Structure 1
């Protein structure tokens, strides 16, 4: 398995397979994650949705995402919920960009 494949699998394991949705929300609302995922989703859509968005990440982006994911993957549900809700309730800054990203992702 290549380093790239290992990083993708680790990220999927830490976040996508995580059974606590609030950890996912905290991860995706992180200001370091949002611009990376925004670019990945754009590249994935431009390619006709071939593969998964992570296929379009550089190894440096994957390393950054894994580093951030480790911060959230084992966080308590209460702390992750508080963090995600605080970002949502701000209505600007971090969550504003994330909200636009989610709306684009959902096609709304």
Structure 2
């Protein structure tokens, strides 16, 4: 989690989230999957849809027993899912690879 107490990193993530779906020349994600696997996965697609419609999600993340508290999907960028507490006035961000997300529920 990155909160607004570290302003430079916070702004970097915020800027990346709004400009991240620009074409790239790298076809691999850091988790070893092809980008097309990440971008075309139903999980990434469903999370992107939740973000477009403003539906909060609670993620089940690898290694955690309980889902995260409800968050808003800010953007899905290749293999990265960027979530926040408030889309219009965020105070923190979570960034997960699609590889680390086991599932989610909507609120």
Greater fraction of residues in strand: 2
Structure with greater contact order relative to length (CA < 8 Å, sep ≥ 6): 1
Give the TM-score, by structure 1 length: 0.30
TM-score by length of 2: 0.30
**Greater share of helix residues, 1 or 2?**
1
